[in-house]
Structure 1
Amino acid sequence: MLNVRTSILAALISGFAALAVVPGTALAYDENSTAAVNVDAQGVGLQGYDPVAYFTDKAPVLGNSAYKASHNGVTYHFASKAHRDQFTANPAHYAPQFGGFCAMGVALDKKLDGDPQAWKIVDGKLYLNVNKEVQKKWLEDVPGNLKKANMEWPQIKDKAPKDL
């Protein structure tokens, strides 16, 4: 178990190192926030991506601020009025799990930024990971990782990432 955790942490660290060399990468992540949702300075979730598009288009699609709606303190942008209307009819269905934080990070008792490009729908719910390398580890045992994450989330959701 220790070796698995060590290798996952190594993947997370290398993933952060990869992010550091990508110029212009703007993350929504706030190390000091105690909010249970991952938003940018304007309160926008999913870094402006349309949460409905993951379900309908099976791909991340950047939203348009002309079409927006709020749910649980997060403003989401949508690619179309139709997507916004779908979301407002059932926001809990479309909103990302764990407040948009990395699902693998939550399984490891951490609140890490969620990358809208590293996503997966499991049992009708949207999950993000901090990057695609970490997502590969998460996908190795989705049921086990979700079980761990669901146990950890209540304890960490209101803590600042820097305190974990």
Structure 2
Amino acid sequence: MIASTLRRGILTSLVIGSLGMAAYVPMSVHAQDQNSTAAVNVDTEGVGLHGYDPVAYFTVKKPTLGKAMYTHSFEGATYRFASKENLDKFKANPAMYAPQFGGFCAMGVALEKKLDGDPQAWRVVDNKLYLNVNKDIQKKWLEDVPGNIVKASKTWPEIKNKAPKDL
């Protein structure tokens, strides 16, 4: 109980501190559906990564919007791709390209939270795609990437099927 309260306090401090004031915390700080127990962060249409192409992070090394004409579903999310070539790469090895922790914020998962992942706050580490809730939180995550990945990897099985509002 104390550890959970402490983690909440740390995460709140990180988010609020990075944004200046609580009144300015954007809605994207939270996963889109606070009641969803899904292990994948999707929008109301079931689209993951806010419609960004997961393969592009590895090939062109930048966020690239996908097109509705190139889609593929994997583990509860429909991903969009910028080209047929990227779609084919994903189909051949979806686990390689899909974002870690279901596309939720990697720092949030390390702190036992399911926060919306921002496709603009990303990093590929050891050939795995990680998102953060925003670039300010990403700066904190980057201070100890290996340690944060270990923490998040241990936490993820415990929280992946819980609703964000319950964490």
TM-score (norm 1): 0.89
Moved over 4 A (4+): 4-8, 14-19
Q: 2:140 aligns with which of 120, 137, 142?
A: 137
Identity %: 66
Report SS of the residue matched to 1:135.
helix
Q: Which residue does 1:108 correspond to in 2? A: 111
Once the 2 structures are TM-superposed, how far is the Cα of residue 20 of structure 1 from its aligned partner?
2.7
Q: Which residue does 1:92 correspond to in 2? A: 95
In the alignment, structure 1 residue 126 sits paired with structure 2 residue 132: no
Once the 2 structures are TM-superposed, how far is the Cα of residue 146 of structure 1 from its aligned partner?
0.7
Once the 2 structures are TM-superposed, how far is the Cα of residue 134 of structure 1 from its aligned partner?
0.2
Q: 2:35 aligns with which of 29, 32, 52?
A: 32
Judging changes above 3 Å, is the alpha-carbon distance between structure 1 residues 15 and 111 closer, same or farther for their aligned structure 2 residues?
farther
Q: Which residue does 1:55 correspond to in 2? A: 58
* 2:36–2:163 CA contact under 8 A, matched in 1: yes
In the alignment, structure 1 residue 20 sits paired with structure 2 residue 22: no
* Structure 2 gap ranges (5+): none
Q: Which residue does 2:76 correspond to in 1? A: 73
* 2:37–2:160 CA contact under 8 A, matched in 1: yes
Partners of 1:45 and 1:51 in 2: how far apart?
9
* Structure 1 gap ranges (5+): none
Report SS of the residue matched to 1:54.
helix
TM-score (norm 2): 0.87
Once the 2 structures are TM-superposed, how far is the Cα of residue 116 of structure 1 from its aligned partner?
0.2
Q: Which residue does 1:146 correspond to in 2? A: 149
Once the 2 structures are TM-superposed, how far is the Cα of residue 29 of structure 1 from its aligned partner?
1.7
